[in-house]
Structure 1
Amino acid sequence: MAAKYIAAGIVGSFAISYACDYLIAEKKIFGGTTPMTVSDKEWWQATDKKFQAWPRTAGPPVVMNPISRQNFIVKDLES
């Protein structure tokens, strides 16, 4: 019985949040414009081309967990 109220509340909250997001971001009810950097595809392609042209420099490969990569010498308890 309570599950249907919870599910309806979740669906309703998603619908309200989607409507608010659409009104604020797309319809710009508070004013403003979409920046050229978002709306202009030529600008995006030129920026991407510039980022891909930069030289990549890096050091040697890094082991993410160096402790697990060490070769530990495990001695028997008897020795």
Structure 2
Amino acid sequence: MSAKYIIGSVIASFGIVYVFDTAIADRKLFGGTTPSTVSNKEWYETTDKKFQAWPRTAGPPVVMNPITRQNFIIKTPTDS
């Protein structure tokens, strides 16, 4: 019986958090604007090119994506 209350409370808390997050972040409840670095696709492409141009001094070449924080090792055809 207590599991019913725990699960209900967890679901309700996620609902409350979603409403507050939407009101504060998306609808700008406290004012402010979305930074241009988030909404500007040209900035993203320029930053991505800049990160790809950095030389690596050790290890295999890596594709760096600072937005998603994922790094991918580039496999060349000779790296079987």
Fold in common (TM above 0.5): yes
Gaps of 5+ in 1: 60-79
The structure 1 segments of at least 4 consecutive aligned residues displaced by more than 2 Å after TM superposition are: none
Q: Which residue of 2 aligns with 1:56?
A: 56
Q: Which has the higher strand share?
A: 2
Query: Which has more radius of gyration?
Result: 1
Q: Which residue of 2 aligns with 1:14?
A: 14
TM-score (norm 1): 0.70
Gaps of 5+ in 2: 60-80
RMSD between superposed Cα atoms in Å: 1.1
Q: Which has the higher contact order (CA 8 A, sep 6+)?
A: 2
Q: How many residues align?
A: 59
How far apart, in 1, do the equivalents of 2:57 and 2:27 lie?
43
Q: How far 1:2 sits from its partner (Å)?
A: 1.0
